[in-house]
Amino acid sequence: MSFFLFFSGHVAGSLIASLDMRRMQRWELARAFDLLNVLQVIRLLGTRGHYTIDLAVGVGAGVLFDSLAGKYVECKQRKPITNTVTAKDGRRLF
């Protein structure tokens, strides 16, 4: 299973760009990225720049890394948890 370590970063990067354009509701640009990505896959297969599995795993890696980045951003936007204890009369103890 060592092929998972050598995915196509070209495909993953352009897929992440396409997903980002969809998130920003720039539909035409997202479709353009998708078309260019398909042409890139054909080029990479035709010139034997990557194996087929590298390209397929590149798509999966792009989706995975995009979702991880989204979770990271959501985590950073949450309010921090405060560890305070208050008494019954409303005073902050620590």
The amino acid occupying position 1 is: M
Which is it for the CA torsion 55, 56, 57, 58, positive or negative?
positive
- Tell me which residues are annotated as active site: 10, 50, 54
Distance of alpha carbon 67 from alpha carbon 1, whole angstroms: 23
